[in-house]
Chains A and B, each alone.
Chain A
Amino acid sequence: MAAISLRTELLRLAVPLVKTHGFTREALAQSALRLPEPHKEPLSEAAVTSIFGSGDDARRTLIQAWMEAAVLNMKSKSTPPSLLELLESRLKWNEPVLGHLPEAFALLATPKFSSLLPLDPSVAVRHNIHIANEACNLVGSHDIGVRRHLPLESRADVSCITGQLAWHRKRAAAAIAYAAAELVQLAQPESPDVPYKVLKQQLDRSQKALQSVEEVGLFGQYVARSWAGIGKSMGL
């Protein structure tokens, strides 16, 4: 097995161990016992440092690998799922390791270099947007409304811009809904059903809000075209 693929393989084998060992260097060390030709002992600290990084860097590597595995799990759905089903499956992925997640997110949010801020808030935003983007792509929401084959001046027309905004709006709405649901999941681990209800409510509300915005946009286009027609008839 090539060197780089062995590293990937070890990470893949370490992900199921997060349930029992948490996002720790121990989980990475134990992964060697699950190789096709298993080692007799877990990897040493030197070996974990060599392959995955020293100190908490190795733990961050494991957390990233776990998150990528979550996305792969979303992609593995055989029947075309809805956005709700995809986000629910992502919430379900959290359940076995719920107790370890707060520390994992705190570790990711800790700035790697000395900074004025004790936490890096962009990590949480990027996490939710990434999940929302993957989920929206999987339900087929690709069109960003940019008609690249047209000249620049044509691309600036209102319908084109509206399409681009819709792309961003869908993802923002999904990200906000998922963030709210995940927050409830972390804050109330004793109520496993509540996050799913929150997710559904948030998605419904955002759907209605999106519809309202689109209707307002449509009405605005109608009004703008009317004024344009009036202006032309007056010779402006």
Chain B
Amino acid sequence: MHRSLRQLRPLVPKAPVRLSPFSSVVRHNHQHAPSTSASSSATGPSPNLSSGEPQGTRTTHFGFKTVPEEQKEDLVRNVFESVASSYDVMNDAMSLGVHRLWKDEFVARLHPGARGAKRCIDVAGGTGDIALRILDYAREKHADRETSVDVVDINGEMLKEGFKRFKKTMYHNTPQIAFKQANAQAMPEEEFPSNTYDLYTIAFGIRNCTSVPDVLKEAYRVLKPGGTFACLEFSRVNNPLFGTLYDQYSFSVIPLLGTILAGDRESYQYLVESIRKFPPQPEFAKMIVDAGFTTGGMHEGKGGTWTDLWGGIASIHTGVKL
């Protein structure tokens, strides 16, 4: 279905929503729940087809599998559509609740609201975890009720979950939260103008993107001068013994939990594999610098570009657009 739509792309004039070849953007603010629009959701640019090259000439990884680049987005979308409704439960089960500590630490480092209201964008933030923490932190620590977060995700199902979560909070029906469906690699400029945001966050999402440099490029574009890019992502464990234990846990327990709790082993197998394919900390830090960001020193820890959490199971990378 998706492939036939793309093949028709050169013949079909640009329409505002469904048949647009580029990322469609549906703004879901607090009044309207995001509609499930898998068929019209961001398909992203397909370099092979649009340039007339034969399919399959450019490949990428999907976990440990190699797939054509243009298929990865659909495959990832399918994974997250499958896991959306049990995403938070699974995160708690897989990490024994530790992911909450990581996200708390991630947001606390960013001090949202410390110097007045900030415009934030949380990409791949469908279920609203980070967005809610940003708004709560700004409110509780700095009595800030003007900071706003735009939650962006390629996946409508994940955005629906986020919208449902926010309906239970005080931010529902306020201008502080908005939900937008878009592709992190190619956010439309009319909806996401350049030099707009003070803070760009992406948590446990960047490894699922087809092209990490494109995501970083877009992040740089939408941030204001002085704006901060922050990424929380699974990373490489540096201690060999701990790494072995972690690998055993990841590849044995997590897919099993996926089967028991979510009835979907394959999706959780992908999630575990995708962690191993993501670049290690120094390499990702270099990509951030190459995208134009100014960072701390090329090392871990105090004054460094990244901070490892729990020995490197997760890592926070930051950079500033100057």
Residues of chain A whose beta carbon lies under 8 Å from any beta carbon of chain B = 3-4, 6-7, 10, 29, 32, 35, 39-47, 49-54, 57-58, 61
Given contacts A3-B295, A35-B322, contact A47 B109 (CB under 8 A): no
From residue 104 to 139 of chain B, which have CB atoms closer than 8 A to chain A? 109-112, 114-115, 118
Per the bound structure, the CA–CA distance linking A29 and B320 in Å amounts to: 12
Given contacts A3-B289, A6-B294, A57-B303, contact A49 B109 (CB under 8 A): yes
Q: Does B227 contact A (CB under 8 A)?
A: yes
Give the shortest distance, in Å, between A153 (CB) and chain B (any CB): 44
Per the bound structure, the CA–CA distance linking A88 and B165 in Å amounts to: 65
Closest residue of A by beta carbon distance from B142: A45
Q: Interface centre among B109, B199, B296, by most A CB within 10 Å?
A: B296
Write 15 A-B pairs (CB below 8 A) sorted by A numbering. Answer: A3-B295, A7-B296, A44-B198, A44-B228, A46-B109, A46-B111, A46-B112, A49-B110, A49-B318, A50-B228, A50-B319, A51-B294, A53-B302, A58-B303, A61-B303
Residues of A within 8 Å of B198, CB to CB, are 44
Per the bound structure, the CA–CA distance linking A40 and B227 in Å amounts to: 12
CB pair A52–B114 under 8 Å, yes or no, is no
Partner among A3, A29, A32, A35 whose Cβ is within 8 Å of the Cβ of B293? A3
On chain B, the number of residues with a Cβ less than 8 Å from chain A's Cβ atoms is 27
Per the bound structure, the CA–CA distance linking A53 and B318 in Å amounts to: 11
CB pair B109–A54 under 8 Å, yes or no, is yes
Partner among B112, B292, B318 whose Cβ is within 8 Å of the Cβ of A50? B318
The 8 closest A-B pairs by CB, nearest first: A45-B111, A50-B318, A53-B303, A46-B228, A45-B114, A46-B110, A47-B320, A57-B302
Closest residue of B by beta carbon distance from A56: B302
Residues of B within 8 Å of A6, CB to CB, are 294, 322
Q: Interface centre among B115, B319, B320, by most A CB within 10 Å?
A: B320
Residues of B within 8 Å of A39, CB to CB, are 225-226, 322
CB pair B115–A50 under 8 Å, yes or no, is no
